[in-house]
Every structure is written in structure tokens, then in C-alpha cells.
Amino acid sequence: MATVIPHSLFTNFDIDLFKSGKHFRLYEKLGAHLITVDGVEGVYFAVWAPTAQSVSVVGDFNFWTFGDHQLEVRWDSSGIWEGFIPNIKKGTIYKYKIQSNNDGIITEKADPFAFYCEKPPYTASVVWDLEYKWKDSKWMEKRQDQNGLGKPFSVYEIHLGSWKRHGEDNRFLTYLEFAEDLVNYITETGFTHVEFMPIMEYPYDPSWGYQLVGYFAPTSRFGNPQEFMFLVDQLHKAGIGVILDWVPSHFPDDAHGLGFFDGSNLYEHPDRRKGYHPDWKSLVFNYGRNEVRSFLISNALFWLDYYHADALRVDAVASMLYLDYSRKEGEWEPNIYGGRENLETISFLKDFNEAVYSNYEGVQTIAEESTSFPMVSRPTSIGGLGFGMKWMMGWMHDTLEYFQKDTVYRKYHQNDLTFSMTYMFSENFMLPLSHDEVVYGKKSIAGRMPGDEWQKFANLRLLYGYMFMHPGTKLLFMGSEFGQSSEWNFEGSLDWHLLQYPIHEGVKKLITDLNYLYKNQPALYEKQFSPEGFEWINYSDHQNAVISFIRKGNNSKEDIIVVCNFTQITRENYRIGVPRNGKLTEILNSDAKVYGGSGVFNVNEILIEALPYDGRDYSAALILAPLSVSVFRIK
């Protein structure tokens, strides 16, 4: 047997924290770490495998020979195997070969804490360091002000593998190429944040990254860890926040992954009713096992720590919260109180959010949660789950359902639009038009709009204008910002050639101007989660399919008035009530010719009259362009 020197990075306190589910820096201990012991350089390996009879490190340095480099199990019943192997260098490829006490089963696994992985389809881990000299201090120092709940969040959701590809051979761009092309594009279009669909290492491209194996490694498809750090660095230097999709809800059963890791159900719940996800044919974490909680929360903090992420969007929270999610009667067991809520998950999510917010200033967590589970984005101190924001799936569904209807029928369905305001302020909502809405036969967002080409794009511009004026933060999936015609295809690039056509360039121009307006009009963000920030003018004009409302900030003199016309009929002398005397100035009209519209707009300033209307003492007569959003300021 080759030399493995006994060595440990763990203290007794570390072990106590690990066993109690409270060790949130496990990435500093478990995994492969380049260190020097007694003047000799090498790698310290540590892996959690409590059911193991023996654990060997195999790799290109020992010709993948089982038993040559065996780790030693700790004496403290933690189940951690560890040891120092001298003369191993950065870039060494390795796995753990584990012989189990369970009938001698042998598994060969990638390192759950590896910082870097082989490029798929290869599956081994790579010894690596995380040394990098960050240059984003200005962003990090002011992040608490830039990234707060009372600030603009206009998020560009991106799948790195299909945003843009190299033309001739359809190859992926690299992190370094993204650091130029993507940063310039986000700067041009004005989004405040970019959200990366999972960049943690995953084996199967069609999973889009939502079936993770390398939880601590950015995918090697686009480069190495330092190159991804450089991409984040460049985004921050440009004043753009970075949101990472995080997937603690399930993981694949690939042979080299977390499943059946040491010959036992180590990471997954042993009860298949809780440990297997029928929709995704994947395994579900055992949220009641303390060591698994330490693993997951450590992983969340790792991306905030080493990669300077500004927010984590947590995927598929609904599937975690309910024991009967996608399960038929008899396929699930109620909790101790007879309910369907997963109490272990609820406890875990609260611990996760408390750990994030107590350790990092100015960060956010965002829940993709599609049910009416209460207080998702409320503090744990008052019984909430502790997230900063929650996706508003009801708004997304109702709004798209409404917009797909022919304009003739919209007067019968106005409640689909106005209903969102009855529960808008029960959570801190983000309005998503995400990747899930442009796949599996749903068509692109533009493709779902009714009418001829002109009406489709007028409807699209109206949808985006309405979205940006509606309370809540915003998220738009890549390609939607220029009216991608076809569904999203993860195997190729977006249809960038469409921007040669004025109607597509016009949509992009509108998104750019909406982002500018959102960021520069405090009424649109200062009270975006408060009922004090919104007031209806008229939501009941079903016959004309028109709604009007006021957005409010801290200064009433900066209030914004919004009027939406959901039919293709131009409405002249359309009167609305206004809160005070003065003049109205139109500051944005989605029907402007520069956006591809017909160019109907309100000329100059509109005099406000002392004529009661809509329950107010003052009113004004407007021209409403067809299928448009008009935005006004009072002077």
C-alpha cells in the first residue's frame, strides 16, 4: 500500500457542529485540499462515508488502483475518512472507491466537495484550488444598497449553454467569452441582475443543469473555477448583480453521484415515499439528517463566499414542502400532526435562510414556490420560511392566459389581470416569465400572442410594459427581450439574426427603456412590496378592456400613472381620474414607432381639469394607443 499520512483538518468542535447539522463551512474541511504537511506538498482528502468498510482514493496518479491509497476513518463515529497523500498536485484526477459494510458493496464516486470536475461525459473529480484576486470591492461594499428589497430587480435569466454559441462549430462560449459578450449585452439592455440557470456541474445536458452532481464545482463545460470567478467579477464591475439557481430539492441517481454513496442511503431519504421524486426520476435529500443539512447549507454559503453570488434562487420549493407532491393516495405518509407538510423541509429551509442572511450582508434568497404556502418571504422570527422573495406563479399563469385570448374576448376576462392585486402584497413577489414558459410546446412568449404579426408584437410590448409597471420585481428569460419567435432550444444559440428586423429590434429597445424607467423612477421600486405603493384608478372598465393605476414611492410628487389598453382600438378622449391638479406628461408609450408601434401618442403636456372622475376631484382626457401601455408623470 502506498503512503497515506494520518492528518486532519477537523477539530472536535467541527465534528460536533457537523453531527448537529450546524457546520456551514464544510467545504473548508471535506473534499480535496492542497496543503503542506511537514514541508511536503500534497493533498488532504476527507469524505463522509459512515457505512464504509474501507475508502481508497483512486486516480490518474495511481493508475486507478483500488487499495493503494486507503484513507483512515476517524475515531469519533463521525463517519469521516481522511488522510494526506504527498506529492499530488493541482489538476490530479481522482475518485473515491468505497467498500461498504453493507454486503461488501463497492461504489466508485466523484468527490461531493470537489471544486472542479472533468468535462462531461467524463465523471471524475479534479484537485483544484480556489485562489483568485477579486476586483469587485466597489460592488461588494455597496451591495447592501444596490441589492436590497427596496431596489430595482430586473433579472435576465440565462442558460449559458444556449445563450450564444460559436457560429461555425456550434461550440459553447467560454466563461471568458461570456465575460465580454454577456457583460456588454446586459449593460446595453439595462438589466440590473443576471440569473444563471444551474452552473454547478451536471452530467446530462437535457436536464438544463437541474440534475446536479458537482455541488461545489462550476461546470467545466465553459472553463475552470477561476474563469467563472472572472465572469462574476466582470459583471460586478459593470454594476450587475449575480443570482445563481440552487437545487437542494433533488439529485440524479448517476453511478458517480451522491446516490447510494457508501452503499447506503446516505444523502437521500431511505423511505422511498420521501426519498424519490416520481416526476424527475431523481432522489430527494434527507432533510432530517443533520449531516445532510450541513452539506446543503454549506453548499449555499460556499457560492456566496467563494464566488461572490448576490442571491440564490431556490428551485422547486413546492416539491420540498409537501409530502404528497406528485404522489397518489397511498404513496405518501402524513406528518406527525396528520398533515401533508414536510416538517423536516420546513425546518431546513428556515435554517438555510437564517444562515444566509446572518452571514452575508446585502444578499437575497428567492423561492420558486408555486402553491399558496403561507409566509414564504416572511422572516423566520414571525413564523415565515425566511426567503427574501417568492416567484409569483399565479400572476404569470393568469397574465399569459389573458394575453393568449383574442382581444374580442378580453372584456370577459379582465379579472384574470386584476385578481393578482388581491394577494400581491401577501409576499415579496417577483414576476417571472421564465424558461419554463417557452418549452414543451408552450411556444415562445411572442408566439403565444394572438393576431397577425403587428398585433402579436403590440401585445408582446403591452405585456412587457404591464409587467414592468406592475408591483414586484421582474424576471425575463433570455431571447424574450427581443421577441424570440421559436421555442427555446438548449442545444443551440438564440435566434440573434432576428435583430436585423425592426420589429424585433423594437422589442429590445422597449425592454431597454423599461429597464431605464424602472431603475430611475423610485415610484416603481421603493414600495414594490407594499400596498402603499399601489392604487387603482379604474379596474372595472371591462367593456373597453382598459385598466389604470398609480405607482407610488416615498415622494408623492414622483408618483407614476399607468394606463393599459388591451384591445387594438385607439381610444380618444379617454378620461381617467387623477390625484391632484397640474399637467400630465407621457414618459413612455409602448406604441411608439421606435418600438415598432403605430406611433399614436399624447402630444406635449395634458392639462388636468377640476372635473371629478373615478372618485377623484381631478381628471384628464387621454389618447390611448392600440394594444399599449402609457406611462405618465404629474407636473
CATH of the domain at 426: 3.20.20.80
The Cβ of residue 247 has, within 10 Å, a number of other Cβ atoms equal to: 22
Distance CA 567, CA 412 (A): 12
pLDDT average, residue stretch 563-584: 96
368 and 347 inside one domain: yes
Catalytic: which of 195, 233, 315, 591?
315
107 and 240 inside one domain: no
Examine residue 135 and state whether it is found in any structural domain, yes or no: no
pLDDT at 3 (0 to 100): 80
pLDDT at 102 (0 to 100): 84
CATH number for the domain spanning 618: value is: 2.60.40.1180
Examine residue 142 and state whether it is found in any structural domain, yes or no: no
21 and 42 inside one domain: yes
How big is the chain, counted in residues? 635
Last residue of a domain, which of 524, 557, 590? 524
Write out the three cell numbers for 495.
435566434
379 and 506 inside one domain: yes
What tens digit of pLDDT does each residue of 502-531 get?
Answer: 999 999 999 999 999 999 999 999 999 999
Examine residue 7 and state whether it is found in any structural domain, yes or no: no
What tens digit of pLDDT does each residue of 484-510 get?
Answer: 999 999 999 999 999 999 999 999 999
Distance CA 197, CA 214 (A): 15
What tens digit of pLDDT does each residue of 32-55 get?
Answer: 999 999 999 999 999 999 999 999
Task: Give phi and psi for 47, each to the nearest 5.
Answer: -145, 145
pLDDT at 516 (0 to 100): 98
405 and 308 inside one domain: yes
CATH number for the domain spanning 51: value is: 2.60.40.10
Catalytic: which of 14, 245, 368, 481?
368
Mean pLDDT (the chain, rounded): 96
pLDDT at 169 (0 to 100): 85
Residue type, 132: Y
Decide if pLDDT at 121 tops 90: yes
Residue 252 exposed, middle or buried by CB count within 10 Å (0-12, 13-18, 19+): buried
Which band of pLDDT confidence, cut at 50, 70 and 90, is reported for residue 338? Answer: very high
DSSP 150-188: TS--EEEEE-HHHH-B-TTT-PBPPHHHHHHHHHHHHHH
Examine residue 3 and state whether it is found in any structural domain, yes or no: no
Percent pLDDT > 70 in the chain is 100
Examine residue 133 and state whether it is found in any structural domain, yes or no: no
DSSP 421-451: GGTGGGS-EEEEE-GGGGSTTS--TGGGS-S
Decide if pLDDT at 627 tops 70: yes
Which band of pLDDT confidence, cut at 50, 70 and 90, is reported for residue 1? Answer: low
Of the candidates 417, 349, 340, 360, the residue with the CA atom closest to the CA atom of residue 384 = 349
Which band of pLDDT confidence, cut at 50, 70 and 90, is reported for residue 536? Answer: very high
Which band of pLDDT confidence, cut at 50, 70 and 90, is reported for residue 167? Answer: confident
pLDDT average, residue stretch 96-124: 95
Examine residue 145 and state whether it is found in any structural domain, yes or no: no
Report cis status (omega within 30 of 0) of the bond before 121.
yes
| Contact indicator for 470, 430 with CB cutoff of 8 Å | no
Domain total in the chain? 3
pLDDT at 176 (0 to 100): 98
**Residue 253 annotated in active site:** no
501 and 520 inside one domain: yes
Q: What is the DSSP letter of 370?
A: -
Last residue of a domain, which of 82, 109, 126? 126
What Å distances lie between residue 483 and 212, 266, 515, 595, CA to CA? 31, 46, 16, 12
Examine residue 136 and state whether it is found in any structural domain, yes or no: no
505 and 539 inside one domain: no
pLDDT average, residue stretch 231-259: 97
pLDDT at 81 (0 to 100): 98
Decide if pLDDT at 300 tops 70: yes
398 and 425 inside one domain: yes
Rg (CA), the chain: 27
Write out the three cell numbers for 610.
377640476
- Domain that includes residue 606, residue range: 531-634
Last residue of a domain, which of 108, 126, 144? 126
pLDDT average, residue stretch 604-612: 93
CA angle 356, 362, 363 (to 5 degrees): 45
Decide if pLDDT at 594 tops 90: yes
489 and 545 inside one domain: no
Which band of pLDDT confidence, cut at 50, 70 and 90, is reported for residue 168? Answer: confident
265 and 367 inside one domain: yes
625 and 595 inside one domain: yes
182 and 304 inside one domain: yes
**Residue 368 annotated in active site:** yes
